[in-house]
Amino acid sequence: MTDNEYRTMYERSPQEAQTALFDEYLKYVYAIVYNKLRSCASREDIEECVGDTFSAVFISYDREGKFDGDLKGFIGTVASRKAIQMFRKLSSKSNSTVYIEDEATEFADSERMEENAERSETRSLLLRLIKSLGEPESTMVIQKYYYNMNSTEIAQKHSMSPSVVRVKCSRALKKLKDLLSAEGYDLKEGNI
């Protein structure tokens, strides 16, 4: 919808014009707002921000005709700004600093940064070693310890008996423990 089409419709019926604009750009605005707020907002917060965006568009729309073009850019800018405002509001409540552009958390002290970097490195190594176990063991280990599936659920997915799944998982964990030891990790029982 162009600005001229909206203006013509608005002159006939402001209500009809707003409804048409809302119907045409709802998914677009929702996508922008959702992408900015998905890491910190509830569904209700996102819907509130979408509503605030359309309110701002209707209130700030230039009825004098100085703008003549596609409304998509204008609406996208308003949506982005409203989402950033909501993001800052929600982030200030959570006591953490977050960059909205990359949604990565910034920590004030270097100890937590180092701890998180080590944890991330360990997770990457662990995932690589689990994948090296081969199929179906790697999938079973992920299902059991990441998705918290029990042996019966895993057995149904792999067309095996639960006892076979338990034996395979046990062997896979022993092999994984040996692989981690070879990488220099000193493992105590139960601390994988």
User: Where do the domains of the chain lie?
Assistant: 3-98, 109-182
Q: What is the mean pLDDT of residues 118-129?
A: 78
Which residues neighbour 77 within 8 Å (Cβ) at sequence distance 6 or greater? Answer: none
When pLDDT is cut at 50, 70 and 90, the band that residue 188 belongs to is low
DSSP for residue 186: -
When pLDDT is cut at 50, 70 and 90, the band that residue 127 belongs to is confident
Closest C-alpha among 79, 82, 47, 64 to residue 10: 64
Pairing status of strand 105-106 against strand 97-98: antiparallel
Residue 143 pLDDT > 80, yes or no? yes
Q: Which tens digits make up the pLDDT trace of 18-35?
A: 888 888 888 999 999 998
CATH number of 109-182: 1.10.10.10
pLDDT above 90 covers a percentage of the chain that reads 4
Q: Which tens digits make up the pLDDT trace of 28-84?
A: 999 999 988 888 888 888 899 999 888 888 887 655 555 566 678 888 888 989 998
pTM as predicted: 0.47
Rounded to 10 degrees, what is the CA torsion of 146, 152, 155, 156? Answer: -110
CATH number of 3-98: 1.10.1740
Q: Give pLDDT, residue 10.
A: 81
The three-state DSSP-derived secondary structure of 101-145 is: CCCCEECCCHHHHHHHHHHHHHHHHHHHHHHHCCCCHHHHHHHHH
